[in-house]
Structure 1
Amino acid sequence: MTDAPAPPASLARLADFADLDHDRAERRGYPEAVYCEGKTPAQVGAIAAAVRDCGTATTLFTRASPEHAEAVLTEVPDARYDREARMLAWPPEPPDPTGGPVVVVAAGTSDLPVAREALLTVTHLGRACDLVVDVGVAGLHRVLARLDLLRGARAIVVVAGMDGALPSVVAGLVPAPVVAVPTSVGYGAAFGGIAPLLAMLNACSPGVAVVNIDNGYGGGHLAAQIAAPAPRAGA
């Protein structure tokens, strides 16, 4: 009888503030993500070291400040860092895509940070993904010009602030489910994303699911699950 291997020393660094869910990918099919906002760079760096040493599946670090990114890159220098999305991914290369394609749609350029968070999430969870930018309802010809791409998607993530009308428009044109992500983009009466959130929850078109304000990760994750390969018979 052989002794079980000793856990990596890096796990001991987490004892006071984290307990990583290394089995989540096995249990759910998708790995745990690390939400960095509110954590210190030292805490995020220690988590990155444990992820590296334990061989955890693809791990996303979301809402990462430049200081968080520096701490992660110190432990895993090859991690992919997208400053605009405030996200890191390790390992840096996404898996080969399976399942159906996803399209992420950004209503305006100001919505791009959240849209890129959704895009990277979808990609690193193993789906092919395209990004369509600046197609808000102020110029409907722009979204109509992308209908062929949109109608070929298994799932669509629509990211919008201001009046939040774009998810309803898109959902009325395509067969795929639409995941609506309200953003905090907008003038005062948008109330930091509350106005588009309520508009999306009241969508007239069926087939629209809504995630929280600025939650590109949550929107991308849901779309990746919708677009997953069909389970094998008997599995």
Structure 2
Amino acid sequence: MTDTRWRPVKRTRTFEEVLAQIEHRISEDGLTAGDRLPAERQLAEQLGVSRSSVREAMRVLETLGVVSSQAGRGPDAGAVLVSRPDTALADLLRLHLGLAGLELREVVDTRLMIERWAAGHAATARADTSALAAAYAGMAGARTPEEFVEHDTAFHCAIADASGNRLTGAIMRSLRDSMRRYAVEAVERLGDTSPLQADHERILTAIAAGDPEEAARAVTDHLALAYPSLRQETP
């Protein structure tokens, strides 16, 4: 039986069109990790393209970590989704950041712009702060700098998620992953993490209270504490 939701694509730039329709179906059908796409032959017939075009599109998605292709017949045929596209985007952004050889100041400055905006929007929306609170508690119980940074990363990514903008969340994850080593070094340099925890509590309180100006100020002060050598000199 033909699935009428798959529409034949134009012959120009075929495999990109196949990618676009697969992306649309993932979004439209609310597919998640573990769901299976139609088999290669079936998908080619429904889209009106060659199997090689479908195969090339699947290779791209597999490279990006969106699907896992595996052999099979009947209900076991077809690629399986292994992540949401926003997760793959974070991985791709992280790779590009690494290849670009960006300076730490560039990454921190970008992070500051994003987090100030995200914290302000989260506070204005009175967003759910449960993920922030959980990460804050995790930092309090951390026994090593690496463990502290793991929960610290979750805290700051939760700020981005609370803004309601999924792309902001993906960018923040890639930025944090790209500077993980520097974050661990910052924690080791400080030794006592209580000042950082005080900053996190201030950020959490401001967002929960719906105070966007204080939330943005708290983020700015926190990054200045964590990376003192990168503080902007006041004229």
TM over 0.5: no
TM-score of the superposition, structure 1-length normalised? 0.28
TM-score of the superposition, structure 2-length normalised? 0.28
Larger Rg: 2
